[in-house]
């Protein structure tokens, strides 16, 4: 998409923060490729894990914004950052723009994992209840339940690779105490894998915050979807936000997009802009 030449600021050069964000994101992507070739999973280190995961680190709240799942993921985020971020940084200045970028990125993560908490909690409750009071009968019920189907394929493979031989041998030899110990060990490992599984990467939360800001501050600027379909910025933002909300609620099992992170970036952006407007009505 593109927008008309009646935009409020010149784009003859890249402002400082936008330029450096483009460079840093590009360097992180190249580093990810290089580390992958060396057998090091940089996404696992710098991507944002679930806060109750053993792999979570506070610095991931910042580093996850500079990690991307592939070239197209990087390209579209950086294109939107360049396209809309230039106008905002020229308006706000580098300090305020960077503050906005980071806060919306962190806000996106908070909203995403707030939703994840309610999604994973029923399964965690079942796991913790089993560990507290294990039985072979309830273990079989768990294996047949939706809780296992809710987890990812790696966890299923972990069960298929680690449990059957020793578990079945213990059952066949009627060593039920050993079989029970195996199931408890498995459930502890399953819990760790389950909490480690969600990993968020990308600048999309901040980018959606930037898009929201552009729509609020320049609502009647014309955008062109696919460089052909005209739409005012305010309607584009509303439409995009509604699509993200619908996709987030639909929660398709084949959809690996963090829709509520996008909405979180927009929500925190809206709150921050309103706060700034209240603090200084003449700034905008």
pLDDT digits (tens, 9 = 90+) for 52-75: 898 999 999 999 999 998 899 899
Contact at 8 Å (CB) between 76 and 203? Answer: no
Overall average pLDDT of the 197-210 stretch: 88
Side-chain half-sphere of 82: how many Cα atoms within 13 Å?
Answer: 16
The mean pLDDT value of the chain amounts to 79
Reading the block at residue 1, the tokens are: 């998409």
Q: Annotate 153-201 with DSSP letters as a single string.
A: HHHHHHHHHHSHHHHHHHHHTT-HHHHHHHHHHHHHHHHHHHHHS-EE-
Question: Is the sign of the CA dihedral 230, 98, 22, 70 positive or negative?
Answer: negative
Query: Between these two residues, 117 and 157, which has the higher pLDDT value?
Result: 117
Instruction: Quick: pLDDT tens for 147-190.
Output: 655 455 455 555 555 565 666 666 666 676 777 777 888 888 88
Choice among 109-118, 164-173, 257-266 with the minimum mean pLDDT: 164-173
Question: Is the sign of the CA dihedral 109, 26, 228, 219 positive or negative?
Answer: positive
- pLDDT of 283 > 60? The answer is no
Among 117-126, 199-208, 241-250, top mean pLDDT goes to 199-208
- pLDDT of 132 > 80? The answer is yes
Instruction: Quick: pLDDT tens for 84-101.
Output: 898 899 989 999 999 999
Residue 220 DSSP label: T
- Residues 22 and 242: their CA atoms lie apart, in Å, by 28
For residue 269, what pLDDT is reported?
A: 93
- Residues 268 and 105: their CA atoms lie apart, in Å, by 9
Choice among 7-16, 166-175, 191-200, 273-282 with the minimum mean pLDDT: 7-16
Contact at 8 Å (CB) between 214 and 91? Answer: no
- pLDDT of 5 > 50? The answer is no
Residue 1 confidence class, pLDDT cut points 50, 70, 90: very low
Query: Between these two residues, 13 and 86, which has the higher pLDDT value?
Result: 86
């Amino acid at each position: 998409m593109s927008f008309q030449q009646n935009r409020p600021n010149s784009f003859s050069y890249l402002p400082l923060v936008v330029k450096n964000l483009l460079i840093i994101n590009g360097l992180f992507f190249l580093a990810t490729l290089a580390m992958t070739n060396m057998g090091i999973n940089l996404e696992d280190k710098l991507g944002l894990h679930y806060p109750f995961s053993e792999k979570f680190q506070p610095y991931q709240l910042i580093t996850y914004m500079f990690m991307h799942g592939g070239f197209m993921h990087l390209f579209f985020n950086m294109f939107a950052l360049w396209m809309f971020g230039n106008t905002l940084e020229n308006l706000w200045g580098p300090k305020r723009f960077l503050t906005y970028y980071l806060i919306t990125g962190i806000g996106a993560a908070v909203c995403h994992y707030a939703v994840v908490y309610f999604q994973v909690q029923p399964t965690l409750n079942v796991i913790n209840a089993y560990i507290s009071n294990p039985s072979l009968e309830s273990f079989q019920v768990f294996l047949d339940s939706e809780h296992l189907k809710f987890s990812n394929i790696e966890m299923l493979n972990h069960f298929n690779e680690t449990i059957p031989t020793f578990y079945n041998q213990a059952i066949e030899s009627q060593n039920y105490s050993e079989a029970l110990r195996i199931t408890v060990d498995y459930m502890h490992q399953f819990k760790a894998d389950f909490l480690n599984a969600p990993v968020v990467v990308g600048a999309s939360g901040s980018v959606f915050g930037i898009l929201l800001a552009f729509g609020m501050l320049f609502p009647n600027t014309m955008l062109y979807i696919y460089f052909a379909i005209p739409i005012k910025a305010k309607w584009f933002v509303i439409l995009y936000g509604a699509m993200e909300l619908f996709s987030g609620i639909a929660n398709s099992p084949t959809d690996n997009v963090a829709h509520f992170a996008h909405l979180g970036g927009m929500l925190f952006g809206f709150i921050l802009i309103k706060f700034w407007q209240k603090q200084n009505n003449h700034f905008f």
